[in-house]
A and B are shown apart, each in its own frame.
Chain A
């Protein structure tokens, strides 16, 4: 609402279609000092989850670099995405972040047509000279909370509320289950898919169903704090998702995995401003802070904190990989043996459960 292009005041309501379109074209190469940064969001900024965290990153960019930012909310993955990305590219934005997997092909298409604009696509696997990809190793966070769950769950049964059966989510479930089993070999993870990224009512209902079936701890890969609220009401414990959700569950939240895009966004925008931006593929985790944590809840005893901190430390210094063998899949077949670790390619495309996860993946 504040900054609008000067262009508008010039041509507003006066010039015809042709004149306007030529001017539009000439803006697309703005100088780097007053960088314009575009963001494309898959949900509304008020979802208190995925998109909300990306928008905090955008605000950090504005504050720390002084760059002008633009965002478009709730952009459907598909035809609309390509149009919006193109519009951002052609209206003078120097770098554009597209923050959902489904934007991969549209981003690539537009990137080819606008070689002078930089593109950054979240969670995808296709790059170009002017299109980088970035993602967070959230599974590292899952390993930490899995350790806590393994030590603190009395029933050994944890409920996992999941959104859609994509590798990202499956990877998180497996990392959680493996970490939990390390502490408690008999641990069971019950998964309920709600087929939605956010539907507070349904997420809460799923949490209730899981608790009713014996889970004394809840974790989730959906956006809203509703499952934690249910945990709080029912007197069980759980973990926040994407943000610190302790306001919604002051006693139930043991910790939360936090998506922290701020440093990455700031550094990439700065790189564009000083001309050092290069394409690439980053997959950052606890070490860079892209995967962060909320403070431990009061219910977490000292020995559990120490164990969780040790896992964090091990992941940061490389002595611990959450997917270290032996790993057995649901069917009982050994995937890798003692001491081996799964490589990034396997992790990226993970579509099978490890043993101890209950439920069926729709394949």
Chain B
């Protein structure tokens, strides 16, 4: 049986919505096979992954908490990726945001006032922007590739946080253990759904989705980003400054990552620790692409991937499944999601005629054997 892809004359609008569902169906089928091979009841396993985490209001709130940093960073990164700027150091920018914002919380530990939290938010954003400004400067001034600089700076940021919480920022009453004081009430994010841990950050995440959507679809700068990303030369001819674009998207990404970091430490964590993020900055890259670099898509992708993490925990708790299985299952889910997006631009053709015509190497051939 030969399957081939045929390019659609226009993108399929229905597939934009249907392809993730197809991916889910494939994930379920593959999951059933995988769990059966492992000798696990597939229905229980799938229940643990996708349903059990959401069987309480608490679970829904946790989903929002887990998705908040992914969405905040994911929407901002998606703009950078559209512009062809490869900021893969959001994790470091998140860390700097936590350091700068958290630093304010420690500095104003004894101050009980409404302005502490806004000040922390501002410094969190500035911290992230500062860390992203380094790759931006090095790229625009010295032509240094941002993939390397932003990634390397992530390691530096983590070590910087480690230096601070193992040293000067330790809790003075904490027996020199590596963690800061627990932030005061006025430095802690308000919970927006009482009885759960859903915090103000979730509102910011939703606002970011809306804001970025407006930016990309309604403003000149959004238009410029799309043009520069697709055809840098055309952008240059049109008089757009590529350097300005690089600065803009890196600062935006850094600022949002910094915000996400600040929300983590002043929300669910409530203090500075040596490790404050289980790799949100990296996972957000996947979120951006699974969301097809579109703000609304990123919103759903963030929620779905957050759910897969919660599901992984629940599979460990309710079924004694090792963490490794979670990774394998998550990987499969992502593979299917990414693969099924092909249906938006292409349709699948069954049969062997396509293969025959594609073996010719002429540029006129419009079909090619798939894999």
A residues adjacent to B (C-beta < 8 A): 1-5, 8-9, 12-13, 17, 20-21, 24-25, 38, 44-45, 70-74, 76-80, 82-84, 86-88, 90-91, 101-102, 105, 124-125, 164-167, 195, 345, 348-351, 362-363
Cross-chain contact of A8 among B47, B54, B274 (Cβ < 8 A): B47
Q: Does B62 lie within 8 Å of A21, measured CB to CB? A: no
| CB <8 Å contact, A72 and B159 | no
CB–CB B316/A362 < 8 A: no
In the complex, how many angstroms separate the beta carbon of A332 from the nearest chain B beta carbon? 21
Q: Which residues of B contact A21 (CB under 8 A)?
A: 55-59
Chain B residue numbers with a CB within 8 Å of A25 are 56
Which chain B residues border A90 with CB–CB below 8 Å? 56, 58
B54 touches A102 (CB 8 A): no
- Is A77's CB under 8 angstroms from B273's CB? yes
Using CB atoms, name the residue of chain A closest to B270.
A105
Chain B 157-186 interface residues, beta-carbon cutoff 8 Å to A: 159, 162-163, 166-168, 175-179, 182
The answer to whether B176 touches A4, judged by C-beta atoms less than 8 angstroms apart, is no
Q: Report A-chain residues with C-beta under 8 Å of the C-beta of B58.
A: 21, 86, 90
Cross-chain contact A72 with B316 (CB below 8 angstroms): yes
By a CB distance below 8 angstroms, the chain B residues around A349 are: 175-177
Chain B residue at minimum C-beta to C-beta distance from A74: B323
Residues of B within 8 A of A1 (CB): 38-40, 319-321
B367 to chain A, nearest CB (A): 42
Closest to B54 in A: A17
Chain A residues with Cβ under 8 A from B48's Cβ? Answer: 8
**Cβ B163 vs Cβ A82 within 8 A:** no
Q: Are B176 and A167 in contact (CB under 8 A)?
A: yes
B370 on interface, CB distance cutoff 8 Å: no
Question: With an 8 A cutoff between CB atoms, is B44 at the interface?
Answer: yes
B62 CB to nearest A CB, Å: 5
A5 with B47, Cβ < 8 A, contacts A17-B55, A74-B323, A166-B166 known: no
Residues facing A in B300-328 (CB within 8 A) are: 310, 313-314, 316-323
By beta carbon, the residue of chain A nearest B321 is: A1
Chain B residue nearest to A38 in the complex (CB): B317
- Given A1-B39, A1-B321, A105-B271 contact (CB < 8 Å): yes
Do B317 and A165 touch across chains, with their CB atoms under 8 A apart? no
Q: How far is the CB of B177 from chain A (nearest CB, A)?
A: 6
> In the complex, A323→B249 CA distance in Å?
56
At the interface, yes or no: B190 with Cβ under 8 Å from chain A?
A: no
- A-chain residues with CB within 8 Å of residue B162 when the two chains form the complex: 164, 195
8 A-B pairs with least C-beta separation: A79-B268, A20-B55, A21-B56, A349-B175, A76-B278, A73-B323, A351-B176, A349-B176
Are the CB atoms of B318 and A91 closer together than 8 Å?
A: yes
Bound: A47/B268 CA distance, A: 28
B166, A13: Cβ atoms closer than 8 Å? no
Cα–Cα distance between A8 and B55 once the two chains are bound (Å): 12
| Centre residue among B38, B197, B323 by max chain A CB count within 10 A | B323
Chain A nearest CB from B321 CB (Å) reads: 6
Question: Which of B39, B56, B159 has the most CB atoms of chain A within a 10 A radius of its CB?
Answer: B56
B44/A102 in contact, CB under 8 A:
no
In the assembled complex, which residues on chain A have CB atoms less than 8 Å from the CB atom of B32? none
CB distance from B118 to the nearest CB of A (A): 22
Q: How far, in Å, is A90 (CB) from chain B's closest CB?
A: 8
| B159 contact set on A, CB distance < 8 A | 195
Closest Cβ–Cβ distance, residue B49 to chain A (whole Å): 12
- The yes or no answer to B298 lying at the interface (CB within 8 A) is no
Question: In the complex, which residue of chain B has the Cβ closest to the Cβ of A41?
Answer: B323
Residue of B nearest to A126 (CB): B174
Cross-chain pairs A/B with CB under 8 angstroms, 6 sampled: A8-B47, A8-B318, A13-B43, A13-B47, A164-B178, A349-B177
The answer to whether the Cβ of B5 comes within 8 Å of any Cβ in the partner chain is no
Q: Does any Cβ of A come within 8 Å of B216's Cβ?
A: no
Smallest CB gap from A349: residue in B: B175
Map CB proximity to A onto B119-140 as digits: 1 under 8 Å, 0 otherwise.
0000000000000000000000
* Residue in A13, A20, A44, A87 whose CB lies within 8 Å of B313: A87
Measured CB to CB, the closest approach of chain A to B329, in angstroms, equals 14
> Across the interface, which residues of B come within 8 angstroms of A44, CB to CB?
323
Say whether B47 contacts A70, CB under 8 Å: no
Which residue in chain B gives the minimum CB-CB distance to A68? B320
Q: Beyond the given A86-B58, A87-B314, could you list 9 further A-B residue pairs with CB under 8 A, ordered by the A residue number? A: A1-B40, A1-B320, A13-B47, A21-B58, A78-B269, A84-B317, A101-B177, A164-B162, A164-B274
